[in-house]
Every structure is written in structure tokens, then in C-alpha cells.
Amino acid sequence: MNEARELFRDHIHTCRKPVSPGPHSINLATLARFLADRATIKCLAIFVFFALSSNCCFGGRLSTDVVYMRNGDKITGEIKSLAQGQLSVKPDYALSPIQIDWTKVDRLESKQLFIVIDPSGNTYTGALTKGPEKDILKVTSPTSANLRHDSVISIDQLGNTFFKRFRGNVDIGSNLTRSNSQVNVTVQSGLSYQSEKYFYSMSASSQVTTQKEVSNTNESTLKNTLFRELRRSSWYGAALANFLSSSAQEVDLRSTLGGGIARRLIFTNRTNLFALAGLGYTVDKLSNGTSTPHQQSLDSALAVKYSTFRFDKATFDSTLWVYPSLSNRGRLRLTFNQDVYYKLPKNFYVRASFFDNYDNQPAPGALSNNVGVSSTIGWSFP
């Protein structure tokens, strides 16, 4: 953990180094310096490593799964996933997966392992085959389960190796404004891991703005959550590790570690609502030269994530973290993120993002609110 914090702190200090203005600051030199930053290179290298490991290093799945349609058609290939009411299948003759309306599917046949989730959040692991009755999916495992088609919300491949169980995405965007020689670069990424009982999620973002004769500004976040299913239910034990750096709020590094309990409140083919409540221990390292640069607090940690899928290609994600302080009476912090994704072919997508970091007791002379927007293009794997 200490090494991760040092790497994150090195990344923040590097991004804050002032840029000497030149006669043509608007050229791509500033952008090149950002991309050459060693911490950024390491982060991107990690994602490339996981992408290659998931897709190549351990080999792909056999394309022997069979999808039987209600109209009598049969598709043979690799079943990728079921999400948001769309079954993703990659036939041998297709360059990329095709999306099939789940309500048009009659049955599935596969001898490979999958994780299936129902509306209550219960998970089932095993191969897939036809159930004893029509519109029943049978998940074969040591204890087989029969699920109605309309109660199957999610199907994901269960990799037979550690790396094959990872999913990820990375996107980047840049805005250049010639009138004031301003360069804005945004890098965002995500990584998740799924097993029979555990689910890990990581999201990271960094937005750097440079402008002629003005110091760089930076907003960087790293959020980690680990969930473990509690028996067979929609309840989960949760651990969290969140980090924030904001030059606008004079926060060099804010680290929050904690744990709690979480529950899926809504889980359908179109909508997902997740809530978490717990405790967090926060350490702030301020960068404005105050007499107490390190501050510590015990906080409540409350989070809500809402996701909805619309128009067949668009996903809307809203995430709110609230930290009412228990040790500093009256202090309230929150972070809010709104993302809109639009799917493109071959696992590419475009994203529009909005963020707001709020602290009602900021460092002296710092902003209580720091908001920002970005537009990026990205790729997901596998």
C-alpha cells in the first residue's frame, strides 16, 4: 500500500511541475510531456498487460457454444456475455461479437464455465444447457440450478485462469484552445475482476490542464472496492481504498481506507442500483503550506451507484460518495461522477464525463467545489 501511495504521489507532483511558456505553447510539446510522464506510462502498461493476458497469453475459448433462436436459427460460436438485455456472441466467421436480443433466444448450450446472476444478486457457476421446461436455463454445477429466462440478468465468462477473469477499459481525450494556449488532457481507466464469491472494481481518472504563463492544474482520483457475497443473497461485505489529489482544493493526497456492507437494491436488464454504507479512515496531505499539512479523520462512508441502459447503445452511470465526518463535527465531503457511454464497433466507445468534488471545510484559500467535464474515446477488453 505504501508503494502504491508513493507512486500516486510521484504522479501528482510530476503533473504539477510548471511549464515554461514559449512562443508557441499550443504545440503538442505539453501533451507529449504529459504522455511521457513515467507514472502514466506505467499505468497504461499495466492495462496493456492485462489486455494482452486476457486475450492472447492464455488463449481464447473454444467457439463451440450454441445459441438456439426462437425462429429456428442456430448460431455456433463463443458466448461472451449477457448484459443489459443483449447477448454477445462471436461466431467464427465474424470479426467482432454480434449482439442478440435476449428475449429472442430460445436456449443456450455450452460446456464452458460461466457466472450467472439473477435479479436478487444470487450467483450461479457452471456450464449452460436447456432446462427441464421451456424458457428455463440450467446452470450445471455441483448443485445445478434452473432459472427462468426473464430472471437471468447477467451472464459472464468465468476464466479458467486468474488473468482471464479480468475486464477493463481505458480512454483518453484532449482539448486544445489556441486563444489562451490551453491544453487539457484526460485519461480514464477501469479494471474489474469476477470470481464465484468476489468482485473487485477499480476506476482511475486524471485531468491535467496547462496554460501559458499559468501553473498547471490537476485533478486525479483512484477508487478501489472489493466485494464478497454474503452467503447466497444480495448483501455483500465491502472494503474500499480511495485516493484523491486536487490542485484546485490544495490537496496533495487524500487517502481513505475503510469497509462496510453493500446491497444490490435494483438489478434488471435495464437498471442497476447499488448502495454501500460503512466507515472510512481519512488522511489528508495538504499542499498549501499550512501549519498542519497532515490531517486525520474518521468518517462515515456512504455510496450509491445507479446505472441504466437506454437506446440499445447508450449507458448512463451515476456514482455518489458521501463522507460525513464523525471526528470533525460539521464537516462533509462528497464526490459525484456522471458518465455517459456510447458503444462503437470492435469494443470501442465514446464517453462524456462530469465530476464534482466538494468539501465544506476546505484548506485555507482553496475552493470548496471543484467541477470538470471531459469527452474521451476508449476501448474495452477482452
Contact 301, 335 (CB under 8 A): no
Position 326: which residue type? L
Phi-psi region of 42 (alpha: psi -120 to 50; beta: other; left: phi over 0): alpha
Domains of the chain, by residue range, sit at: 2-55+165-381, 65-160
| Res 221: pLDDT | 92
Decide: residue 245, CB within 10 A, 0-12 exposed, 13-18 middle, 19+ buried.
Answer: buried
In order of 118, 135, 143, 175, 183, the CA distances from 146 in angstroms are: 11, 10, 10, 51, 55
In order of 30, 144, 164, 195, the CA distances from 160 in angstroms are: 43, 19, 7, 10
Q: Calculate the CA dihedral of residues 71, 73, 74, 78 and round it to 10 degrees.
A: -80
- For 197, residues 6+ apart whose C-beta sits below 8 A from its C-beta are 123, 228, 229
H helices of the chain, where? 2-16, 29-36, 38-52
10 pLDDT above the threshold of 60: no
* pLDDT tier at 231, thresholds 50, 70, 90: confident
Position 356: which residue type? D
* pLDDT tier at 327, thresholds 50, 70, 90: very high
Position 87: which residue type? L
Level-2 CATH architecture, domain 2-55+165-381 = Beta Barrel (2.40)
> 93-115, pLDDT tens digit by residue?
888 888 899 999 999 999 999 99
Do 2-55+165-381 and 65-160 share a fold?
no
| Res 78: pLDDT | 92
* pLDDT tier at 180, thresholds 50, 70, 90: low
Residue listed under C-alpha cell 463451440 = 64
The total of other beta-carbon atoms located within 10 Å of residue 217's CB is: 18
> 258-300, pLDDT tens digit by residue?
999 999 899 888 899 999 999 999 999 987 666 567 889 999 9
* pLDDT average, residue stretch 139-161: 86
> 32-90, pLDDT tens digit by residue?
444 444 444 455 555 555 555 555 444 457 788 999 999 999 999 999 989 888 899 99
CATH fold of 65-160: SH3 type barrels. (2.30.30)
Least confident of 6-20, 169-183, 244-258: 6-20
**Type and span of the H or E element at 286:** strand 271-286
